[in-house]
Structure 1
Amino acid sequence: MGRVKNATLPYILSFITLGLIICLFYQLYLAITSQFWSAYPFTELVVSFVSISVVLKFMPILFVKTDLFVPFYNIAMYPPKRSNISKMEWANEMMRRKKYGKLPFSSKYPNGWYSVCRSSDLAKGQVKPVNILDKNLAVFRGEDGVAYVVDAYCPHLGANMSVLGKVIRNCLQCPFHGWTFRGEDGVCVDIPYSTSTNTTYPKQARVNSHIVMERNGVVFMWFHSEEAEPDWVIDPIEDYEGYYEAGQITHTINCHISEIPENGADFAHFFMLHEDNMLAGGDMQITKSKLGKLMTHKWTPKNWTVGYGEEKHMIKFDLHLETYFGQSSIRVPGFNEMKAEVRQMGPAYVSLKIDLGLLFQGYFIQTIQPEEQFLQRVTHRIIAKPHNQLLLTKLYLQSERFQFERDVSMWNHKVYQTNPVLIKDDGPIRKYRNWYQQFYSTVAKKDDSAEINQNPKYSQKSAEVVQSTTSDKEVTENSIIVNGHADKSGWKKPNDLDW
């Protein structure tokens, strides 16, 4: 299964680094106070305060929990000042007002591999509930060590088997009446109170079982709206077991799934959102202040290419980063020059390979779980070589988090533009969208076509999504069918609906 090992060496190196920082500040403290004490009697207090502040700034990074969850309503939601509206209430109101746009896709979700959980989070005999693609699923690991994904609801009387369900050998037992379903194919193999043999059980006594693949420390399930078999796989990371798990951060985002990886083709957004100091945080109100200008970044995408043949599901490019003090030409050590090899595989998986020698060698792995059509759960994991001390590795993870949250600030509030007005300097956005169309089936399923362009309405008092409804006639008139490429004469523009 290839699980990443938890190394102790990075912690040891981090403590050594902190010790060196403390010694450095102590020597600096002795030097400064001996020179300026007579002239400036408060020098000792000032130097001591600065030294303690720096150490306290770095210490939490080492011990901070790096398995975080950040919901969408925590990012770029600013209730009116001097009001008693909570951030959650304001987020629900903003989501209610949001326009989602008309989507040029023939099915509700793109076909591909989707992450359901980390491999290390699923022990033998364990069951986990997962909400993805408008489905409630049960993910469990059998006694053979293999991960299985089945529909959560028992066909008998509808119990949710992901809650209190029990793993028996390589099967999942319903907690309500004990019906037991085989993980491999979902067939019911035992009804404990039945006087019949399992060969005479009803044919309907089964649950849907999904194709599963474990790779790069993640349990993936295959989805295809027409139930076709997988025609590509996620590439394995070379020597994956030689890395250790340094942490992960998960965000929920209120947008369409295609908008998130499209960011890599949007070259023009880098200087607006990501030029400012990454350590200034993800709040755009702060990053645009003087604090955000203490350190600046220059991002340069290069060699952006679309895969062909066996690699048609891939996009590759290199992302170069240069970091400077303020607006000067002096580079920042550790962040001065960085190159990431970016690989997108399918609609919901992106990896960034970074090699900075002794400072950092590892990967950022981004996976997207579409819980609903306009609600995405995005996870960033970081794995690193054991000789990379944990302090700097966690610093990189926090930096990635802050940069990503600036994008979330845009996604939470934007509308999907089917025909955007672009200039040549925007980057290969149209090329990306044409490539992305391949993951949608040519013909939509009946249960998808009615929902493709429906915008979720958010209740002001709760985060529950209430779907709008349209008549059969409206559905027929407003569904958009695209056969894997853009019609140069322009997509059919649906009539505006009263959402």
Structure 2
Amino acid sequence: MQSPIIATNATYPQRFARGWHCLGLAADYADGKPHRLDIFGTRLVAYRGEDGAIRILDGYCPHMGADLSGGHVQGNDVVCPFHHWQWGADGKCTSIPYCQRIPPRARVKAWPTLEENRLLFVWHDAEGGAPDPEVRIPRIEACFSPEWTEWRMRKMVINTNCRELVDNLADFAHFGPVHGSPASYFCNTFDGHIGYQMFQGEESELLGNGLRADSAYFGPAYHVTRMSAQTAEGNIDTLLLNCHVPIDQNSFELRYAVKVRKQPGLSDEQNEAIAEAYANQAHKSFFQDVEIWHGKCRVEKPLLCEGDGPVYQLREWYEQFYTDVAKLPAPTLKVFERRDGGWRQLDEVPEQARSQLHLI
């Protein structure tokens, strides 16, 4: 029997995933100040200009190396704290206070940004390509509806490669041991840039009984779950956000947020109390995974049993975000369903596993 290949350091790809990465609530960048971002193995600066748009630029001034996040915002520009060179939305230098002629090469990289679902996203592509319209972050109507509470978000740093987090999409077997929520039904669908998970469980120690969770990665780093369950307060309908941004190859920022549909007939205060209680339970459940990630190593070729499901197929799907666009194979649909204690590969998505995410 072949032993698993265990690597604790250098086998991760030396590039970062192509796609949109969530940087948290857009409102957190709306204070008119520059914000430091240590991500993708470098430093960036994010700021909202007077026109209301959020910009993200390379964070070090190419003049003498100062940190632009230590400067200030002027109009739609960020001003370097060292010599007050100004950098515009497109990365070009717009002003040097002691020189009329601006060098033609005076520019920094401007990173594509997107605001959607009250969140800020930045586009990363190791090849320098522009965002693909086909993989735009989908709008969630619940984020703009008074029938739902606002995002309750927490941020943490996980000291491992972000692939260890993505593996969870196919890991049905951990729900019982880690969360006390064994799966009665499970299905994975890999379709283009979307990786989808359908989970159903009869019992849950933390999140209520009759649990159903529709969960999808839209690209490599933005993960949304629509979840419903029976609790003491009645049926609870929630959205869970699980998104990450790599700091380097061995650590990433993880943001986890919860949004709850308000119960009709209850006051705003009562609904907020329910949302806060459920968010605390959901965070507790999520932190059970965090404890595992903090202590685990990378296993390049996991030693699997026949009950483990499509772990290798998930990693094959995820590899597309680290592959040059010109080398990508044609998109395919792959469906794996677990019911009655066994796995089977299907040609189409079964009715039981059809996503409810489009209803939000």
Shared fold (TM-score greater than 0.5)? yes
User: Is 1:314 aligned with 2:194?
Assistant: yes
Aligned mates of 2:313, 2:289 — CA distance in 1: 21
Aligned residue in 2 for 1:385: 261
TM-score for both structures, normalised by structure 2 = 0.79
Query: What amino acid is aligned across from residue 380 of structure 1 in structure 2?
Result: Y
Structure 1: state its 5+ residue gaps: 1-97, 276-296, 326-331, 444-481, 486-499
**Match for 1:251 among 138, 156, 164?**
156
CA distance in structure 2 between the aligned counterparts of 1:300 and 1:148, rounded to whole angstroms:
45
What CA distance in whole angstroms lies between the structure 2 residues aligned with 1:261 and 1:412?
14
1:182 aligns with 88
Displacement of 1:299 in angstroms is 2.9
Amino acid at match of 1:385: R
Aligned pairs for 1:209-358 within 5 A:
209-231=110-132, 232-242=135-145, 243-275=148-180, 297-307=181-191, 312-323=192-203, 335-355=208-228
Name the residue aligned to 2:306: 424
Residue from 54, 58, 68 that aligns with 1:161: 68
Q: Per-residue CA shift, 1:343-388, capped at 9, x if unaligned? A: 1111111101124596433311111021111111111111223447
- Over the residues paired in the alignment, what is the CA RMSD in angstroms? 2.5
> Structure 2 matches for 1:359-374, cutoff 5 A?
359-374=235-250
CA offsets 1:404-443 (integer angstroms, 9 cap, x no match): 2222222222221222121221021011011001001349
If each structure's helix is expressed as a fraction of its own residues, which one has the higher value? 1
Structure with more of its chain in strand, by fraction: 2
Deviates more, 1:136-145 or 1:316-325: 316-325
* Alignment TM-score, normalising by the size of structure 1: 0.58
Residue in structure 2 matching 1:203, options 93, 99, 104: 104
Distance 1:246 1:436, change over 3 A: closer
Decide which of 282, 286, 290 is 1:408's aligned counterpart: 290
Structure 1 Cα separation of the partners of residues 261 and 319 of structure 2:
36
Measured in 1, the distance between the counterparts of 2:294 and 2:155 equals 15
Of the two, which has the highest radius of gyration? 1
Is the partner of 2:97 in helix, strand or coil? coil
C-alpha distance in 1, partners of 2:11/2:284?
29
Name the counterpart of 2:350: none
Quick one: which of 125, 128, 135 aligns to 2:35?
Answer: 128
Q: What fraction of aligned residue pairs are identical, expressed as a percent? A: 29
Matched residue SS, 1:245:
coil
What do residues 93-134 of structure 1 show as CA deviations (whole Å, max 9, x unaligned)? xxxxx95155364x4211111122311212152321111111
Unaligned runs of 5+ residues in structure 2 are 1-5, 264-269, 331-360
Structure 1 runs of 4+ with >6 Å offset: 482-485
Q: Secondary structure in 1 aligned to 2:242?
A: strand
Amino acid of the structure 1 residue aligned with 2:164:
E
Task: Report the alpha carbon displacement of residue 251 of structure 1 after superposing the two structures with TM.
Answer: 2.3
Between the two proteins, the alignment pairs up a number of residues equal to 311
How many Å separate the matches in 1 of 2:24 and 2:168? 24
Shift of the alpha carbon at 1:158? Answer: 1.3
Question: What letter matches 1:179 in structure 2?
Answer: W
Match of 1:144 among 33, 38, 51: 51
* Contact 2:127 2:324 survives alignment (8 Å): no
